[in-house]
């Protein structure tokens, strides 16, 4: 690659500064927000890909993508420009960049006192590189000893990314090692750097395969550096500053689009296994799941049909029902609905070469095309070869949506499970329609799953416009949170996977994918033993997505009742999730409305506590619950660090209070996973329910965990019918409270907003055992509050 060195200022306007580099290339520096700048380089003055599908600061992008020249949705605050001695300085009130000669950038931020402090720097020796003969770009920054790196979405291994090299190349990584396998399913080229009292985000809006080196590589001729390199496309990155890591994550979500607010039932237990739909009597197996949930008193809200329902001679064919296995899909769907359960069906974007409709689809030109011929491109897929649908073709989108509607939704299926959508097309020059502007697949591979899930979502919305859609997708890129819930793919059964999936989920959450979970019990490998299964369920119920799903090499199936001796422990964990449903649903609302992560590493809310930056197996569920999952065999106690929050923590089960900033050991018998609550919090709880049904959810408790001594805190509960768009018109309940504590009393005040009223009419207030202070509610002593 050739280093870019010499530049000259050619143009500036209200929001951008343009440089000519090497008299050939164009570097543009956009000032988008006070603390958000964008740097882009156009090779020869032109974009390699002139569109983006990830940047959505105010609304969703057009189907054909958002022009890279579009800067709408940003406040464009203006800037000051200073020139001196071949150096440019561009500054807002929050962020400042210095452009040096030869080309490298140096970044400063203004702190609360008004002082400018160093933030980041390119590598002064060769910062920007382009392949002189076509594809390939790279960007180098300085790497400093005290940097902490996070992000990159779904990655194996530790949560901190320091010292590692990672690749972005969507793969179907069946049975991956959660501690080491790379790459995996998703493409999120976004890092968070924590330095001293500040953090910054760096997002490369490039959709080709790429690599991040965060300290693995050393070169004697350069100071320590970090590298991003892509096989094709453009250098186009966004740098933004935040006081905290949380600020950076929230800014990234605002940049790439808000989290989908799905229905409440999407937070319930979702059953799934390949075993049922692969069985010759799949419909009987599936119907039996309803009976077994009832027999074992396991709450459940949905079931995910694996792809076996589409099979012909053991292979999978999207939009094809195997009527020998499932003779009456509508009857089956109705049985699930009668039991209060919804159905999601697995769909795949690749048609095997002997698919009954392959020739029809090929004639219409709906596949990605081979680079050397007029034939569809063919790649390996599910024990054969097949062709991937081209979702940059409007005709393909229409074909897909017709299939979703007639073969799924009209059969009673409620949601789409968009799977095996990594688009492993390794002929990089394979041609895509590009909405009328042909483009090579190497530039947009991760966009294909994004457009696939969007096509599925719009089909669901047209079919049932009164209902909020629920979709699942395994693969995707930055911005996929706008459409789907996701999970960490086909994990392998082991204690190591349980431990490192926690870190993987936290990495995704820091990278803007808030609504996520893992295949509980492990997807591949032998079945989990009873102890591992219980611990995995206890951990899984504390994630936004809770699904027990398996393939299992040994032919077994993971089910809540698979070990009768521990079924009571499994049931208790699932029941606890349903008790916490009002809290979880409020978190989902806050993720959508306020861009708040649902899963949070302990440091996210406790940056002042150095111990929270150490790798650990604990995590926060929202701001109030600290989850201490048991991730080692034979463990019956759990030692953990309580973050120093200045207020302390309560054991949720016992009500015992502990000071923060210390290590404690709690009992963890097999039937119990330790969970602590931030002092000052109130946790809304439901009754035991068979499934999430707003009409039957007629009892509500607010369990208070008051501050010790004097202090003030607040909280929020969101409620609605769980499935409609009524909240947009104020048809929801926003219930907020303030709690003021002193030596003698705990005083609670409520504020109600919204027109919707739930099935419950009274809120019962409970306190930890041993709490003797007087409780007043809106100035009246008592323990019950009536909703009017």
Chain-centroid distance of CA 2 in Å reads: 36
pLDDT at 490: 98
357 near 351, Cβ under 8 Å? yes
Structure tokens at 540: 């899984």
Give the pLDDT of residue 744: 96
Q: Is the pTM of this model over 0.85?
A: yes
Per-residue pLDDT band for 715 (boundaries 50, 70, 90) equals: very high
Q: Are 714 and 707 in contact (CB under 8 A)?
A: no
State the average pLDDT over residues 501-508.
Answer: 98
Q: Report how far residue 712's alpha carbon sits from residue 738's, in angstroms, rounded to the nearest whole number.
A: 7
Measured distance between the N- and C-terminal CA atoms of the chain, rounded to whole angstroms: 69
Q: State the pLDDT at residue 764.
A: 97
Determine the pLDDT at residue 85: 87
Tell me whether the omega of the peptide bond preceding residue 183 falls within 30 degrees of 0, making it cis. Answer: yes
Residue 186, beta-bridge partner list = 476
Query: Is residue 13 very low, low, confident or very high in pLDDT (cuts 50, 70, 90)?
Result: very high
Is the CB of residue 207 less than 8 Å from the CB of residue 446? yes
Which residues in 487-503 are b (16+ Cβ under 10 Å) and which e? bbbbbbbbbebbbbbbb
Sequence-ordered list of residues with C-beta below 8 angstroms from that of 134, at least 6 positions apart, any chain? none
CA 224 to chain centre: 31
The per-residue pLDDT for 624 is 98
Measure the CA–CA gap between 433 and 394, rounded to whole angstroms.
9
Number of Cβ within a 10 Å radius of residue 695: 9
Structure tokens at 425: 């097309």
Query: At 383, is the pLDDT very low, low, confident or very high (cuts 50, 70, 90)?
Result: confident
Mean pLDDT of the chain: 97
Query: For residue 133, what pLDDT is reported?
Result: 78
Residue 742, pLDDT > 90, answer yes
Nearest-angstrom CA–CA distance, 207 and 478: 9
- The answer to whether residues 778 and 749 touch, using CB atoms and an 8 Å cutoff, is yes
Asked whether the beta carbons of 696 and 689 are under 8 A apart, the reply is yes
Helix (H) or strand (E) holding 572: helix 567-579
Identify the band that residue 711 occupies on the pLDDT scale cut at 50, 70 and 90: very high
Per-residue tokens: 407: 């073969």
Handedness of CA 665, 666, 671, 672 (dihedral sign): negative
Could you tell me if 700 and 764 are in contact, meaning their C-beta atoms sit under 8 angstroms apart? yes
Contact (Cβ atoms closer than 8 angstroms) between residue 625 and residue 583: yes
The pLDDT assigned to 688 comes to 83
**Exposed, middle or buried by CB within 10 Å (0-12, 13-18, 19+), for 390?**
buried
Dist. CA 532–CA 555, nearest whole Å: 18
Contact between 447 and 393 under an 8 Å Cβ cutoff? The reply is no
H-run or E-run covering 238: strand 235-242
288 Cβ contact partners less than 8 Å away, ≥ 6 residues apart: none
Q: What residues are paired with 113 via a beta bridge?
A: none
pLDDT in tens, 131-181: 987 789 999 999 999 999 999 999 999 999 999 999 999 999 999 999 999
Q: What is the dihedral of CA 514, 552, 172, 543, to 10 degrees?
A: 0
Q: Which residues pair with 118 in a beta bridge?
A: 108
Q: Pull the structure tokens for residue 258.
A: 């808000």
- Model confidence over 350-360: pLDDT tens digits? 999 999 999 99
Task: Tell me: pLDDT of 226 over 90.
Answer: yes
Question: What is the chain's alpha carbon radius of gyration, rounded to the nearest angstrom?
Answer: 27
How far is the CA of 374 from the CAs of 59, 428, 703, in angstroms? Answer: 37, 16, 65
Task: Specify the pLDDT at position 557.
Answer: 96
Gap between the Cα atoms of 259 and 594, Å rounded: 9
pLDDT at 781 over 90: yes
pLDDT at 132: 81
Look-up of token digits 């102890």: 531
Q: Tokens 């580099």 label which residue?
A: 21
Name the percent of the chain lying above pLDDT 70: 100
Q: Is 266 helix (H, G, I), strand (E, B) or coil?
A: helix
- Over residues 243-262, the pLDDT tens digits come to 999 999 999 999 999 999 99
Q: If you average pLDDT over residues 93-115, what whole number do you get?
A: 97
- Residue whose C-alpha is closest to residue 653's, from 636, 635, 630, 676: 676
Q: Can you tell me the distance from the alpha carbon of 652 to that of 144, in angstroms, rounded to the nearest whole number?
A: 41
At 504, list the tokens: 């993987």
- Give residue 394's pLDDT band: very low, low, confident or very high (50, 70, 90): very high
How many Å separate Cα 618 from the centre of its chain? 18
pLDDT the model gives residue 293: 98
Three-state secondary structure call for residue 419: coil
Residue partners of 269: CB distance under 8 A and separation at least 6 = 298, 299, 300, 301, 302, 541, 546, 547, 548, 574, 577
Question: What phi and psi, each to the nearest 5 degrees, are found at residue 585?
Answer: -70, -35
Q: What percent of the chain has pLDDT over 90?
A: 98
Domains recognised in the chain with CATH numbers: 2-49+78-256 (2.60.40.1760), 694-786 (2.60.40.1180)
Calculate helix-pair angle for 495-510, 530-540, nearest 10 degrees: 10
Q: Is 417 helix (H, G, I), strand (E, B) or coil?
A: strand
């Amino acid at each position: 690659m050739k280093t870019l060195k010499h530049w000259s200022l050619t143009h500036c306007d209200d929001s951008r500064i343009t440089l000519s580099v090497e008299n050939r290339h164009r570097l543009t520096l956009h000032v988008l927000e006070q603390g958000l700048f964008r740097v882009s380089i156009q090779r020869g003055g032109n974009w390699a890909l002139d569109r983006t599908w990830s940047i959505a600061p105010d609304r969703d992008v057009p189907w054909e993508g958002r022009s890279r020249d579009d800067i709408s949705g940003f406040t464009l605050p203006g800037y000051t420009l200073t020139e001196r001695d071949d150096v440019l300085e561009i500054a807002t009130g929050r962020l400042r960049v210095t452009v040096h000669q030869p080309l490298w950038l140096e970044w400063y931020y203004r702190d609360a006192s008004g002082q400018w402090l160093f933030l980041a720097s390119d590598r002064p020796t060769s910062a920007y590189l382009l392949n002189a003969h076509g594809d390939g770009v790279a960007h180098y920054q300085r790497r400093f000893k005290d940097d902490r790196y996070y992000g990159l979405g779904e990655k194996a291994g530790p949560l901190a990314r320091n010292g590692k090299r990672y690749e972005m190349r969507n793969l179907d990584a069946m049975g991956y090692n959660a501690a080491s396998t790379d790459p995996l399913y998703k493409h999120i080229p976004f890092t968070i750097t924590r330095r001293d009292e500040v953090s910054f985000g760096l997002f490369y809006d490039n959709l080709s395969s790429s690599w991040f080196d965060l300290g693995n590589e050393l070169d004697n001729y350069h100071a320590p550096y970090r590298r991003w390199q892509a096989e094709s496309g453009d250098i186009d990155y966004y740098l933004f500053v935040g006081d905290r890591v949380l600020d950076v994550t929230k800014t990234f979500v605002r940049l790439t689009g808000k989290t989908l607010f799905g229905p409440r039932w999407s937070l319930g237990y979702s059953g799934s296994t390949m075993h049922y739909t692969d069985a010759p009597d799949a419909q009987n197996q599936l119907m039996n799941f309803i009976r077994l949930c009832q027999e074992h008193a396991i709450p459940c809200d949905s079931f995910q049909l694996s792809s076996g329902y589409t099979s012909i001679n053991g292979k999978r064919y999207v939009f094809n029902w195997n009527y020998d296995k499932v003779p009456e899909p509508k009857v089956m769907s109705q049985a699930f609905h009668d039991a209060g359960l919804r159905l999601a069906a697995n769909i795949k974007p690749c048609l095997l070469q002997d698919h009954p409709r392959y020739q029809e689809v090929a004639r219409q030109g709906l596949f990605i095309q081979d680079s050397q011929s007029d034939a569809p491109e063919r790649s390996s897929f599910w024990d054969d070869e097949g062709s991937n649908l081209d979702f940059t073709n409007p005709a393909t989108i229409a074909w897909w949506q017709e299939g979703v509607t007639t073969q799924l939704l009209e059969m009673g299926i409620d949601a789409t499970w968009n799977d095996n959508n990594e688009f492993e097309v390794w002929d990089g020059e394979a041609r895509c329609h590009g909405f009328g502007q042909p483009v090579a697949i190497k530039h947009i591979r991760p966009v294909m799953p994004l457009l696939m899930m969007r096509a599925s979502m719009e089909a669901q919305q047209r079919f049932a416009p009164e209902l909020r859609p629920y979709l699942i997708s395994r693969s995707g890129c930055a911005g996929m949170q706008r459409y789907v819930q996701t999970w960490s793919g086909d994990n392998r059964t082991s204690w190591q996977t349980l431990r490192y999936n926690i870190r993987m989920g936290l990495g995704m959450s820091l990278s803007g994918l808030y609504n996520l979970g893992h295949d509980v019990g492990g997807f591949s490998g032998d079945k989990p033993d009873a102890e591992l299964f219980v611990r995995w369920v206890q951990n899984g119920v504390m994630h936004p997505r809770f699904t027990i799903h398996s393939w299992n090499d040994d032919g077994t199936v993971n089910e809540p009742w698979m070990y009768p001796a521990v079924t009571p422990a499994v049931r208790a964990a699932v029941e606890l999730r349903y008790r916490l449903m009002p809290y979880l649903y409020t978190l989902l609302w806050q993720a959508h409305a306020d861009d708040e992560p649902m899963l949070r590493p302990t440091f996210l809310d406790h940056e002042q506590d150095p111990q929270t930056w150490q790798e650990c197996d604990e995590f926060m569920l929202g701001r109030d619950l600290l989850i201490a999952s048991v991730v080692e065999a034979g463990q019956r106690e759990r030692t953990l660090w309580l973050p120093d929050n200045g207020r302390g923590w309560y054991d949720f089960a016992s009500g015992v209070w502990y000071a923060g900033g210390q290590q404690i050991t709690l009992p963890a018998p097999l039937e119990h996973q330790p969970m602590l609550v931030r002092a000052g919090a109130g946790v809304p709880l439901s009754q035991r329910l068979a499934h999430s049904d707003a009409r039957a959810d007629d009892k509500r408790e607010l369990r208070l965990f008051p501050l010790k001594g004097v202090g003030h805190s607040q909280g929020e509960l969101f409620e609605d019918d769980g499935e409609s768009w009524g909240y947009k018109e104020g048809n929801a309940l926003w219930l907020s409270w303030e709690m003021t504590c002193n030596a003698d009393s705990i005083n609670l005040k409520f504020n109600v907003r919204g027109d919707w009223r739930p099935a419950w009419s009274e809120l019962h207030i409970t306190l930890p055992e041993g709490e003797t202070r007087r409780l007043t509610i809106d100035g009246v002593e008592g323990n019950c509050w009536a909703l009017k």
